[in-house]
């Protein structure tokens, strides 16, 4: 029996994880859950899975949750301290890190310090603090197993092969809802347009990141730290069918890929059960019915966010932290209707022009760079709104 903590249980990754847990009660038990603002869904999850402890954002939400639950209730905590307590639960074997955005860094680091293996869905943990996270995981003997479909595909394609034989890694991207639109047309898109992803069902922030291809840029940075390859050996190919989830090319010209239907339960289940596999109720992949698998290079003028991510990765230090913070603020502003779609990348570029101190020696350096970048992004948005 593997005891799980799920950070971000009410989001899409958390919900899919609990679906797998429910299908395999002989293998998994939930000991802690954390959630943001969806108290109704969290209440349902508590009743179904009976965790020992949960954490929410505020005291007010904690009081509301206590009032809604029958006795006995789990221990209900709140704030960053509550997240860290759940992440470091002494009875846990693995922590599913699925909080969206930079907010996932601190609890994920707490889980690592507690010696818990990590099923990593929160890419921002490695984007903002990659060298620090990997160093602490190595020191604590913690295994990081990727949950993002692209990184899971690479992880699987590396199995049984020597890392020194890798020539490059190829992350695939659907291209999002605007793959075929011109740059001029992108100036007119609405949040509703951007949220309408053709292949995947995701949260609002990640859907916008997919539409701008910032999501792929963040994944490039994550891959750099997960798999210890420089930016020059991590490529991105647009693959509209979302069947080939990513590939590894070896020095002899062989390319090994992981294929499957676009369903997040597959990489989640692999992370939970690694090195085993467990049965899932997912239809078989019928390549004859699909017929064609196509690939194309991304247009870096149209998808400027991807270009900015590569630049930040090459700059190093806290530049990826600044990139991520500016993006989170710009995406929120776009969803609120304060800026246009194309202005998301313009805000990020403006903030990256003044990144501040690039030193990255401690988590405090990450938090400081994050705060400054968010403040700078808000000022840029005020100037152009």
Question: In which domain, by residue range, is 102 found?
Answer: 2-146
Let me know whether 20 and 132 are in one domain.
yes
Q: Which two tokens stand for residue 258?
A: 């992981």
Across residues 195-217, what is the average pLDDT? 83
Cα gap 62→134, rounded to integer Å: 33
Let me know whether 229 and 82 are in one domain.
no
The pLDDT mean for the chain works out to 94
Let me know whether 164 and 130 are in one domain.
no
Q: Place 197 in a pLDDT band, splitting at 50, 70 and 90.
A: low
Cα gap 234→151, rounded to integer Å: 12
User: Roughly what angle, to the nearest 10 degrees, separates helices 124-140 and 214-227?
Assistant: 10
CATH of the domain at 105: 3.40.50.720
- Whether the pLDDT of residue 200 is over 80: the answer is no
In tens, the pLDDT along 326-381 reads: 999 999 999 999 999 999 999 999 999 976 667 899 999 999 999 999 999 999 99
User: For residue 29, what is the enclosing H or E element?
Assistant: strand 28-34
Residues 368, 142, 4, 82, Cα dihedral to 10°: -30
As a whole number of Å, the CA-based R_g of the chain is: 20
The predicted model scores a pTM of 0.93
> How far is Cα of residue 269 from the mean position of the Cα atoms in its chain?
16
Let me know whether 216 and 283 are in one domain.
yes
What is the predicted pLDDT for the residue at 357?
A: 67
Let me know whether 230 and 286 are in one domain.
yes
- Whether the pLDDT of residue 100 is over 90: the answer is no
Let me know whether 142 and 159 are in one domain.
no
* DSSP state, residue 8: T
Q: Place 185 in a pLDDT band, splitting at 50, 70 and 90.
A: confident
What is the predicted pLDDT for the residue at 9?
A: 97
Is residue 202 domain-resident? yes
Nearest partner of 95 among 11, 3, 232, 22, judged by Cα: 3
Across residues 155-166, what is the average pLDDT? 97
- Whether the pLDDT of residue 201 is over 80: the answer is no
Q: How many domains does the chain have?
A: 3
Name the 3-class secondary structure at 218.
Answer: helix
Let me know whether 165 and 127 are in one domain.
no
Please classify residue 90 by burial: count the beta carbons closer than 10 Å to its beta carbon, then call 0-12 exposed, 13-18 middle and 19+ buried. exposed
Nearest partner of 134 among 13, 216, 222, judged by Cα: 222
What is the predicted pLDDT for the residue at 356?
A: 66
Across residues 283-305, what is the average pLDDT? 95
Let me know whether 8 and 130 are in one domain.
yes
Across residues 315-328, what is the average pLDDT? 95
Q: How many helical (H) and strand (E) elements, i.e. helices and strands, does the chain have?
A: 17, 11
In tens, the pLDDT along 10-26 reads: 999 999 999 999 999 99
Q: Place 70 in a pLDDT band, splitting at 50, 70 and 90.
A: confident
Burial 117-136, CB ≥16 within 10 A → b, else e? bbbbbbbbbbbbbbebbbeb
Cα gap 323→172, rounded to integer Å: 21
What is the predicted pLDDT for the residue at 229?
A: 96
In tens, the pLDDT along 32-61 reads: 999 988 999 999 999 999 999 999 999 999
In tens, the pLDDT along 103-146 reads: 899 999 999 999 999 999 999 999 999 999 999 999 999 999 99
Residue that wins the pLDDT comparison between 197 and 83: 83
What is the predicted pLDDT for the residue at 376?
A: 96
Let me know whether 320 and 378 are in one domain.
yes
Let me know whether 275 and 324 are in one domain.
no
Let me know whether 127 and 205 are in one domain.
no
Beta strand 166-173 pairing with 244-250: antiparallel
Alpha helices in the chain (DSSP H): 12-23, 39-49, 59-68, 79-87, 105-113, 124-140, 149-158, 183-186, 191-194, 204-212, 214-227, 265-273, 287-290, 304-315, 319-335, 343-352, 363-384
Let me know whether 10 and 158 are in one domain.
no
Across residues 243-249, what is the average pLDDT? 98
Candidate from 95-99, 323-327, 381-385 with smallest mean pLDDT:
381-385
């Amino acid at each position: 029996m593997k005891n799980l903590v799920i950070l971000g249980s009410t989001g899409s990754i958390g919900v899919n994880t609990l679906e797998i847990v429910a299908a395999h009660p002989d293998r998994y038990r939930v000991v802690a859950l954390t959630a943001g603002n969806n108290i109704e869904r969290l209440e349902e999850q508590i009743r179904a899975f009976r965790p020992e402890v949960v954490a929410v954002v505020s005291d007010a939400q904690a009081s509301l949750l206590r009032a809604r639950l029958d006795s006995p209730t789990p221990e209900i905590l709140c704030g960053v301290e509550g997240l860290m307590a759940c992440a470091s639960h002494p009875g846990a074997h693995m922590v599913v890190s699925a909080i969206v955005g930079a907010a996932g860094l601190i609890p994920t680091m707490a889980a690592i310090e507690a010696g818990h293996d990590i099923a990593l869905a929160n890419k921002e943990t490695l984007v903002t603090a990659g060298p620090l996270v990997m160093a602490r995981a190595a020191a604590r003997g913690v295994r990081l197993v990727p949950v993002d479909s692209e990184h899971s595909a690479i992880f699987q394609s590396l199995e049984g092969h020597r890392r020194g034989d890798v020539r490059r890694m190829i992350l695939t991207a659907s291209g999002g809802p605007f793959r075929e639109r011109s740059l001029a047309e992108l100036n007119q898109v609405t949040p509703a347009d951007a949220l309408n992803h053709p292949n995947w069902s995701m949260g609002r922030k990640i859907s916008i990141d997919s539409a701008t291809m910032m999501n792929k840029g963040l994944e490039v940075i994550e891959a750099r730290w997960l798999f210890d390859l420089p930016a020059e050996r991590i490529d991105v190919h647009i693959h509209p069918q979302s069947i080939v989830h990513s590939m590894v090319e070896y020095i002899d010209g062989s390319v090994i890929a992981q294929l499957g239907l676009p369903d997040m339960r597959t990489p989640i289940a692999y992370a939970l059960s690694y090195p085993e596999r467990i049965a899932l109720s997912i239809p078989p992949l019928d390549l004859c019915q699909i017929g064609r698998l196509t690939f194309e290079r991304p247009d870096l003028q149209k998808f400027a966010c991807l270009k900015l991510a590569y630049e930040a990765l090459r700059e190093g230090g806290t530049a990826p932290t600044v990139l991520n913070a500016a993006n989170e603020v710009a995406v929120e502003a776009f969803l609120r209707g304060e800026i246009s779609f194309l202005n998301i990348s313009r805000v990020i570029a403006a903030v990256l022009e003044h990144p501040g101190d690039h030193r990255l020696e401690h988590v405090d350096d990450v938090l400081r760079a994050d705060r400054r970048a968010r403040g700078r992004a808000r000022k840029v948005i005020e100037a152009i709104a």
